[in-house]
Amino acid sequence: MTLADFLRHEIGLTGTHLGCEHGVCGACTVLIDGRSARSCLTFAVQMNGRTLTTVEGLNVAVGLSPLQQAFQEHHGLQCGFCTSGMLMTLTELLSDNPDPTEQEVREVLTGHLCRCTGYAGPVRAALAAAEHLKGIKGAA
């Protein structure tokens, strides 16, 4: 059983979407040990002893993560089908590179197909989240 099917059908975590089921569209992206991976190409059994984060796990105690909040504020989504996958990939990017350039954001989003946004909103949202996170770290 694929990880995507296990998440959606066995444990009810439906935030991970299935699009192409061939690893091309990016909608099913999750984080495995902090690295983005296509859950439609991963077997559920491979998660034994691994750390798995889905879009449901991005929420912080007080609500949305800074990236999720930025997606809301900067119109980073329209229909929302690709959003969870983008959020996961961008979470990895911001973890690895807290000050990405616009080109770096655009580059990581090339693995995600989105028919609605034209990618402008998600790029703005990622850059805004990076700025917000820098402010939080600077205040600490």
Average pLDDT, the chain: 95
pLDDT tens for residues 108-136? 999 999 999 899 999 999 999 999 998 87
The reported pLDDT for the residue numbered 123 is 98
CATH numeric code, 3-139 = 1.10.150.120
What was the pLDDT predicted at 62?
80
For residue 47, pLDDT over 80 is answered with yes
3-state helix, strand and coil shares in percent for the chain, rounded to the nearest 5? 50, 10, 40
Distances (CA, A) of 54 to 12, 117, 139, 140: 12, 22, 28, 27
Average pLDDT over residues 19-40: 98
pLDDT tens digit string along 97-106?
999 999 999 9
pLDDT tens digits, one per residue of 57-75: 998 788 899 999 999 999 9
The pLDDT of residue 95 is 97
